[in-house]
Structure formats: C-alpha cells, structure tokens
Amino acid sequence: MRTTLFAGLAVLGLSACQTPEPVAVEPAPCLAECQSAQFQQLSNQLIDDLWRLSPTWALYSGVYDYADQLVVPDEASRQRQLAFVAKWRQALSAYDDQPLSATARTDKALLDNLLDSMEWQVSRFKAWQWNPAQYNVAGPFARLMNEEYADLDTRLKAVLGRMSDVSRYYSAARANIHNPTLEHTQLAILQNKGGLAVFDDTMLAKAKASGLSEGEKALFEKRYFETRQAILSFVSFLEELERELKANGARSFRIGETLYEEKFALDIQSGMTAKQLYQKALADRDQAQKQMASITEQLWSKYFPGKGMPRDSQQATRELIDHLSARHVKREDFVAEVKAQIPELEAFVRQHDLITLDPNKPLVVRETPPYMRGFAGASISAPGPFDKHANTYYNVTPLDGMSDEQAESYLREYNHWILQILNIHEAIPGHYTQLVYSNESPSLVKSLFGNGAMVEGWAVYTERMMLEEGYGDFEPELWLMYWKWNLRVITNTIIDYEIQVLGADEATVMDHLVNGAFQQHEEAAQKWRRATLSQVQLTSYYAGFREIYDFREDYKQVKEGDFDLKAFHETFLSYGSAPVNIIRGLMLEQAQ
C-alpha cells in the first residue's frame, strides 16, 4: 500500500491566504500545440493556487513555501475550497471544445476529476463530520523535523509558525464532529496518541540548541507545550465520545451503494462501475482457486509422502499452505529481513533488464511511525515531484505490540515466500520504483494527482511479472503463494463491495478471507478492521492490476514482433500516475 503521493482529499488543508484569480487566457484560434501550451500555463497556475489553498498538500508534494501554515478545518475553510473549485472549473471550461494534444487532453481530464472530487468530499461525502481520524496534526510536523529540505533553523521556524494554530485546529475538529462512527473514533484515538511521539523531548531540545533567537526559543517552548496539551485534550474528548458511542450506538461505517459508486467513479476512473468490477472479481476468484488446486496436486506427495490428498481441493490447498507457512522469519527479525531482501530484488531487476533503476533515489526501510500505525502493516511514503531527491520510506510495522499468538499468525501469513512478494509490491520494482518514475514525468498534473488504481495496480502487476521472468526460479511453492497473494487482491474487491454495499457482517467477511482466500486469522482480522475504516481503496489493487496486465497483452499484439518488456515498462511509467485507461490511450496512439 502506498500512502503518498498525497492521498489527501479527505484531509485537505485549506489556507486562509487570498488566492489570485487565474490569469485570463483567451484561447486564440490556433492549432492543438498552441492551445496545449496555453493550457499548460493555466494548469500550472491552478497548481500554484492549490498550494496556497492547501499548505499541507504542498508540503507532502515537496513545496515548502507555506510550510509554516496550518489550516484550521472550519466552515470558512470549506467555503474557500468550494470557491476554488468554482473558480478553476470555470477557467478550465474555456478548453472544453478546443483542440488539445493528447497529453493536454488527459491532463484536463485529471484536473476536472480533481475538482469534482474536492467538491464531492465537502458537499456529498462529508467525512469531515463523521471521521475523527482525519484530524491529526502530527504527520506534517514529523516531515518538517525529519526531511532536510533546508537547514534546521529554517525548519524549526516553520514548525514554530505551524504550532500557532494547533489549538484552533482541534477546536474546529471538535465542532465538526457529528454522529461519527465508532471505528473511526477509535482510530483517531490511537493515531493522535501516537502523534504525541512527534512532539517529544528531542524536538524541544533541538529548538533550544538551535540558532533561533532567545525570543523565538521561548515562544517555541510555549507553543510546544500548548500543542501537546491540545492533542491530549482532543484525545480526552475522543475517549469520552467513544464511551458515549458504545453506550448509545454509533453511525454505521458502511456508506451504501450510491455513495460507494460515486466514490468508485472518482477514485478508480476505470470506466467500469463498482458492481461490474465486483462481478469480474467473483469470476477471477474461481480461476485463482483452480490454479492453487493444480499446484497443490503437484506438490502434495513432496510434503505429505504416503498421505492421501483430500478430495476437497480447498481443504487440500489449505493443508499444504498451513504446512508451508511454518517457514517464516523470527518476529524480532521481521523488519531486518525486509531490509535484507531489497538489494536482492534490485540485483534481479538489473540482471534481467526489466526496468532502469535510479541508484541516486534513496529508499529507507524504517519502522512505521506511531502516528501512522493501526491501518496497514506495510506502506510506502514517497516524496512529491518538487522534492524528488528526498527519501522514500518503506514503513514496516514491527510485531512488538502483538501477543505471541497474534505474531505467529501474522508471520505465517507473511511467510518465507509471501514476504518476498510483499517486498516486490512495496519496493522493487513496485511502489518505490513507480513513484520515482512518476516524479520524473514531464506532466506535473499526472505526477501530483495520482490515480490510486494505477499506483496499486502497478505494484500488483510487478508481482506477476517478476515471477513470469524467473524470480524464484519458477519454484512451485512460490507460485502457490503468489496465487494465494493474488487471491487476496481479488478478495479485497469482493469484501469491500459486500461490506459497504451489501452489508456483509464480520463472520461472512472472515469466511471469505480465511476459507475462501486461505488467509491466517490475524491477517483476516486486520483486513476486516481496515475495510471498516476505508471505502473503495481496497478495490484499487485488483482494478489497476487487471487493466495493466490486460493492456500489456493487448500491446504485445499491436507491436507484434517489436514488443520489448523493458521499453513497455518505462514508457508506461513515463506518464506519471495517470489512470490506466488514459495511459493505454496515449501509448496506443503513439504505436499507430
């Protein structure tokens, strides 16, 4: 799972700065090249205006001009967001019927979708009312302290300015929260408590030892303690709210069919409805289970000599997976083993010439920061195109918070084979590689406003591609575990739709995950929790993978004997994080 490029419409910060009107660019009667140049000028103005509107989004994209600003999430900020949407929708409409290059056309489609999403989040979805977990100041402060985009004194001044509005931020959050879900309230408690670790003694010590003036140091210390108190007070508010919700009942986390289809259309941008994707996933689940049954039959006598294989193929596959899953790393070595596998993946990609890797773009494997825990066990935090030389972090959550039973279940899920597939997905040549390429795209629009299905789909695609190219020497055990992993991707789509639209309960979902997808109980329990906290995102893996893999096979037919896998990968990734159907159209247009 990737966490940034900033997946931030739900937590969009809105600036109190006045935003300038877009420069009027009257489309002159000229050809597509001329119109496209004018459109690019307009889109750059929109992006600059967005950074003023959302300093936090800017910060996560590598723009630190407004890093000292923390937007208070009140009604006035929401109205500024809607005004931004109206202003830029009108400006972009001037190009609705103008000839544009293929790149400009697709950039416009992405910007139109961005504006639609921003408006929908405020006016329709309204998670700012029912999701307390979107209120947490810790992340941007951690970035300012840890990313050396400037000298420490400059960064501390940005922290100092940002802390001035923390109390008002949490006051607005309390005022916004109305009829929340219990699940999001509990996540907000967990993550805000974790956020206190950002405001630790080290931060204050660095400020005191810095080159700030004595007055600035005194003000820093004052605001530092006020910030910690504001977070603690918000946590206390949430804990009281949690008690009330448990006693009196809470809003359902399920959003229903109408909102789900609307969110799916905006987030996935595949041209399919959510229901159509769900139906495709049901068919692919059957095929994946048949593949696993075939490999199980091949391996059975190797691991169970003299023992008859059960007639029930599901039971036989489960027995074999359970037997193989005992091979896993020790719990205390989990993070270290992830680190150790990264160079091995890099070597394979280079030896097989699958894609060019940039040795100058750092990947740092780290323990997941406390303020990010409670949602996913592994994720990527990547810099934006304006800060492309900053670290990309591979966040791996250690198992020290689990009981022995939970840890064993988790390690059996991420066993010897699946841990390798996880690292392909998250790191090489998955998320990390794709996001490095995205930052190099000549289109800022495609890099900044990334499509989640393309990003997740690429990571899933690389798992299959690596094994097809010989990673693991075609070991049947690895392929069995691959199909188990791929079955999880398919099942993610099934359970997300059934939970949010069809009202599936925990028992039904656990049956899908444990019995239908052969997952360990702890992994399945975490997936149920994650599915109660998000909507649609779990479908992005399968949606994007299916589109990318199918497109590659179609592209082979178009290129006939001239198909080159490395060239396909690098061309595909050169378009940033655009939706797959847009990239498909651009590549097919070039191929003709």
pLDDT for the residue numbered 360: 83
Q: Is residue 26 over pLDDT 60?
A: no
Average pLDDT over residues 96-109: 89
Q: Is residue 28 over pLDDT 90?
A: no
Average pLDDT over residues 551-558: 95
Average pLDDT over residues 74-90: 98
Domain ranges of the chain: 12-125, 126-253, 274-591
Q: Is residue 313 over pLDDT 60?
A: yes
Whole-number Å distance between alpha carbons of 289 and 285: 6
pLDDT in tens, 326-373: 999 999 999 999 999 999 999 999 999 999 998 888 788 898 888 777
Q: Give which of 347, 581, 288, 330 is closest to 454, Cα–Cα.
A: 581
Buried b (16+ CB within 10 A) or exposed e, 148-158: ebeeeeebbbb
pLDDT for the residue numbered 381: 84
In a 3-state reduction of DSSP, which class is residue 455? Answer: helix
Is the N-terminal amide bond of 429 cis, ω within 30° of 0? Answer: yes
Whole-number Å distance between alpha carbons of 183 and 242: 9
pLDDT for the residue numbered 23: 56
Query: Which residues fall within 8 angstroms of residue 51, CB to CB, at 6 or more apart?
Result: 57, 58, 61, 63, 65, 66
Q: Is residue 24 over pLDDT 70?
A: no
Q: Give which of 242, 266, 75 is closest to 171, Cα–Cα.
A: 75
pLDDT for the residue numbered 57: 94
Q: Is residue 558 over pLDDT 60?
A: yes
Q: Is residue 592 over pLDDT 90?
A: no
pLDDT for the residue numbered 560: 86
pLDDT in tens, 49-74: 999 999 999 998 889 999 999 999 99
Average pLDDT over residues 130-158: 96
Across all residues in the chain, what is the average pLDDT?
92
Within 304-430, residue ranges assigned H as helices are 313-324, 334-351, 404-413, 416-426
pLDDT for the residue numbered 6: 37
In which band, very low, low, confident or very high, does the pLDDT at 4 lie, cut at 50, 70 and 90? very low
In which band, very low, low, confident or very high, does the pLDDT at 31 lie, cut at 50, 70 and 90? confident
Average pLDDT over residues 34-63: 94
In which band, very low, low, confident or very high, does the pLDDT at 38 lie, cut at 50, 70 and 90? very high
pLDDT in tens, 502-516: 999 999 999 999 999
Give percent of the chain with pLDDT exceeding 90: 77
pLDDT for the residue numbered 193: 97
pLDDT in tens, 415-453: 999 999 999 999 999 999 998 998 888 888 988 888 999
Length of the chain: 592
